[in-house]
Chains A and B, each alone.
Chain A
Amino acid sequence: MNERTVSERADYLSRKRARFLPMLALIYFSQQVTFLSALSNGPHRDVDHFKIGAWVVLSLVLLAGLATKGFWLERKEVRNLIDDESTRANRLDAMRIGFIFACGAALAAYFIAEFQPLTVGETAHLVLTFGLGAALIRFGVLERRAHRGV
């Protein structure tokens, strides 16, 4: 694989990531319907435990994809190029937004707990969902904008 191919491959994967991240974030948020219905229905059923387990796995994958270079099966040169300066800047900005949303979710959980008891797991679920989801959307938007150059 010559240098040009590495560059083209990195560009292709970077575009692909910019397209897929917002979609993944939407899937991630849509999973919350299960959580919210389980929350209002009282104790979790077995199927709810399974769905929440799937949510935990997806959270870990998305967090790893956001916090690392991602594309773990690609060559090191390609991974390094994908994670270039503008990408790192976009990721940092996305994490800043994610942090703000996570803090907002924590404050909301604190407020909700005044009226409806929340478990530690439910509170962690809310904080992680809003923090990670917001960061993913922000990263996707910034990357798409960068590819368009506007």
Chain B
Amino acid sequence: MSERLANRLKERRTELGLTQAELAEQVGVTRKTVNTVENGVFTPSATLAIKLARALGLSVEQLFWIES
């Protein structure tokens, strides 16, 4: 069974009125990295996941979950 890490990054970022570039600056990565995490192309490290969740005011579990 294949599993993937789903997220509501884009939804939450849009709610807060942030661009990918603005969120990327807040967490110290490039816009490309935020883009790939949003699209499920790249699985972030625990450190980056925590930083993203903190920047978006959610817990890591609220922001990311495993989909089968």
A residues sitting closer than 8 Å to B (CB atoms) are 3-4, 7-8, 10-11, 14, 81-82, 84-87, 89, 143, 145-147, 149-150
Ordered by A's residue number, 25 sampled pairs between the chains whose C-beta atoms are within 8 Å are A7-B21, A7-B25, A11-B21, A14-B30, A81-B28, A81-B29, A84-B29, A84-B32, A84-B33, A85-B44, A85-B45, A85-B48, A86-B30, A86-B33, A86-B36, A86-B37, A86-B42, A87-B33, A145-B41, A146-B33, A146-B35, A146-B36, A149-B35, A149-B36, A149-B41
Contact status A147-B28, CB under 8 Å: no
Chain B positions 30 through 54: 1 when the CB is less than 8 Å from some CB of chain A, otherwise 0: 1111011111011011001000000
Contact status B41-A11, CB under 8 Å: no
B residues sitting closer than 8 Å to A (CB atoms) are 21, 24-25, 28-33, 35-39, 41-42, 44-45, 48
Distance, CA A24 to CA B2, complexed state (A): 36
Q: Give the dominant DSSP class at A's interface.
A: helix
Contact status B41-A7, CB under 8 Å: no
Distance, CA A19 to CA B32, complexed state (A): 14
Q: Which residues of A contact B37 (CB under 8 A)?
A: 86
Q: Which residues of B contact A4 (CB under 8 A)?
A: 25
CB nearest to A143 among chain B residues:
B32
